[in-house]
Amino acid sequence: MAGGFAAAEAGKRAELYEGNITWYFVLAVLIGSLGGSLFGYDLGVSGGVTSMDDFLKAFFPAVYRRKHAHLHETDYCKFDSQLLTLFTSSLYFAGLVSTFAASHVTRKRGRRMSILVGSVSFFLGGAVNACSVNIAMLIIGRILLGIGIGFGNQAVPLYLSEIAPAKHRGKVNQLFQLTTCLGILVADLINYKTEKLHPWGWRLSLGLATLPATLMFLGGLFLPETPNSLVEQGKLDEAKRVLTKIRGTVKIDAEFQDLVEASEAARAVKHPFRNLLKRKNRPQLIIGALGIPAFQQLTGNNSILFYAPVIFQTLGLGSEASLYSSIISNSMLVIGAIISMSLVDRLGRRLFFIEAGFQMIISMIVVGVTLKKEFGHGIALPKSSATLLLIMVCLFVVAYGWSWGPMGWLVPSELFPLETRSAGQSIVVCNNLFFTAAVAQFFVAAMCHLRYGVFFLFAGLVFIMSVFIITLLPETKQVPIEEIYLLWEKHWFWKRIVGSSEERGQQEMKNDGSV
């Protein structure tokens, strides 16, 4: 098999790609990106609901009693309940298991089918949670939500990357992060209203998860499948028709031929997960499937947002401090996502990663030092210290919003060749959700015992991940998705691992001849 030679020829056709931004393309992208709103709404609403007294009294009375036993104590150990955190993390554990089933559906039935399955499962989870009368129902609902997240996060980033032209792929893919942030923000605003609706407000918050799921399902019925997936399924005529429609031109021969050749190479791969372990796929495995998804959750973003309510309460916002802190912090996420989406295809991925790493390290160190000196002694923070912490929170969150937040989904979705794309995305989602679940399950306990030391820990992790990016990630901006493999052959380190296309082609011919 001479797949390496075919790929080398394909690399010469990128400059022949043509196309315009059409209304059909815009509509498909907007519907597809709704998948992020599911993830974001759940992230936002679950955090708010677990702080509502009515919810705690109904399901976690011990936590409710501890919460009100020391109203003025600056001690988050009172929220240290493994059962309560299981309510949050069970979704992520379900998501990381379901993503492997989603990989099969995504590859065999298409990206669109996975999006539809995810929206149905998410709808059912929201309905069960809203009707829950015991913890068992809560967990079942969270598992159904997790299955929806597993399918949605598997398919949506792939869908957006594949349907977008190379020069716009960055901003299009980052719609997933933008809708995630908007979902969180909408959930915060809903929690603000429903908290006042006693004793059933929390049911409304959880039940409204069915709304974005319904919108995504109805939109998904009219969503076109990606040309890449149609070619992969052998539907060449339909693939050419869709590609012509989303590009707004009949001059799609060069791009279509690249898709066909990539699909031929993909069909020759019988075991995509096993194929990920080959030397030629080592960079994608280490950077895209393992490194970036794990690092995205180890930035410490969750920890800085958890402390935000205390900071804002010290500034005099009283009993509504939690709401204001969530709205302001998540507004910074939205601002960061918009900035990144606007500039990523001009400035590139590496610049955002590297600049944000420096900004986040400084913010974490300042927060850690300030809390070490001032916080946890049973007295309120001085206003000057609280103001400094507020500024550091905003700088940290906005940096995450334009770097590890959106890039954690964008870059992995760009790296994998078609033959391992759905399998690779499954590893990405599984790894991401595993570390999300681990942070959700153990962070409160870690903060209870490490206190300000948590921030120094995350500052060190951000330093490590910044070195990882500087050393191993090549720039992928405006590179056609089927030609990313050429970057590894030119990279100072990876070229020693993957070799050249010609060398791989000769080796494959030698292996075929020896059979």
User: What is the maximal distance between C-alpha atoms in the chain?
Assistant: 77
Return the closest-CA partner of residue 217 out of 113, 311, 96.
Answer: 113
Across the chain, mean pLDDT equals 82
The pLDDT of residue 3 is 35
d(CA 52, CA 29): 36
Per-residue pLDDT, averaged over 343-361, amounts to 93
Residue 250 has pLDDT above 70, yes or no: yes
The pLDDT of residue 323 is 65
Per-residue pLDDT, averaged over 417-437, amounts to 82
The pLDDT of residue 40 is 84
* pLDDT (tens digit per residue) in 201-246: 999 999 999 998 998 899 888 888 989 889 888 888 999 999 898 8
Return the closest-CA partner of residue 462 out of 369, 355, 388, 329.
Answer: 355
d(CA 345, CA 174): 11
Per-residue pLDDT, averaged over 371-381, amounts to 67
Residue 484 has pLDDT above 70, yes or no: yes
The pLDDT of residue 205 is 94
| 417 or 460, higher pLDDT | 460
Q: Concatenated DSSP letters for 304-333? A: HHHHHHHHHIIIIIGGGHHHHHHHHHHHHH
Portion of the chain with pLDDT greater than 90, in percent = 27
The pLDDT of residue 9 is 42
The pLDDT of residue 116 is 93
d(CA 318, CA 213): 35
- H helix or E strand, kind and range, residue 431: helix 421-450
Residue 167 has pLDDT above 60, yes or no: yes
Burial of residue 411 (number of CB atoms within 10 Å: 0-12, 13-18, 19+): buried
Return the closest-CA partner of residue 37 out of 118, 129, 140.
Answer: 118
| 315 or 452, higher pLDDT | 452
Of 239-253, 326-340, 368-382, 446-460, give the lowest mean pLDDT range.
368-382
| 48 or 220, higher pLDDT | 220
Per-residue pLDDT, averaged over 401-407, amounts to 92
Q: What is the dihedral of CA 16, 17, 18, 22, to 10 degrees?
A: 180
pTM score above 0.85? no
Per-residue pLDDT, averaged over 122-145, amounts to 94
Residue 1 has pLDDT above 60, yes or no: no
- H helix or E strand, kind and range, residue 395: helix 383-402
The pLDDT of residue 309 is 57
**DSSP 8-state class, residue 375:** S
Other residues' Cβ atoms within 10 Å of the Cβ of residue 457: 16
Residue 51 has pLDDT above 80, yes or no: no
The pLDDT of residue 184 is 84
* pLDDT (tens digit per residue) in 183-201: 888 888 898 889 889 899 9
- Cβ pair 136, 458 in contact under 8 A: no
Token pair in block for residue 145: 């939500």
**Confidence band, pLDDT 50/70/90 cuts, at residue 421:** confident
**Confidence band, pLDDT 50/70/90 cuts, at residue 389:** confident
Per-residue pLDDT, averaged over 356-363, amounts to 96
Per-residue pLDDT, averaged over 27-52, amounts to 82
* pLDDT (tens digit per residue) in 280-300: 889 999 999 999 999 998 998
Residue 319 has pLDDT above 70, yes or no: no
Q: Which amino acid is at 245?
A: K
- For the stretch 87-121, what's the b/e string if a residue is b when 16 or more beta carbons lie within 10 angstroms of its beta carbon? bbbbbbbbbbbbbbbbbebbbeebbbbbbbbbbbb
The pLDDT of residue 213 is 92
| 319 or 293, higher pLDDT | 293
Q: Concatenated DSSP letters for 133-169? A: -SHHHHHHHHHHHHHHHHHHHHHHHHHHHHHS-GGGH
Token pair in block for residue 174: 């980052």
**Confidence band, pLDDT 50/70/90 cuts, at residue 363:** very high
The pLDDT of residue 73 is 47
The pLDDT of residue 206 is 94
| 336 or 223, higher pLDDT | 336
**Rg of the chain (C-alpha set):** 23
d(CA 330, CA 401): 9
- For the stretch 364-384, what's the b/e string if a residue is b when 16 or more beta carbons lie within 10 angstroms of its beta carbon? bbbbbebbeebbeeeebbeee
Per-residue pLDDT, averaged over 135-160, amounts to 90
Q: Which amino acid is at 189?
A: L
Residue 199, preceding peptide bond in cis (omega within 30° of 0): yes
- The most confident of 78-92, 392-406, 480-494, by mean pLDDT: 392-406
Portion of the chain with pLDDT greater than 70, in percent = 84
Q: What is the dihedral of CA 427, 432, 435, 437, to 10 degrees?
A: -110
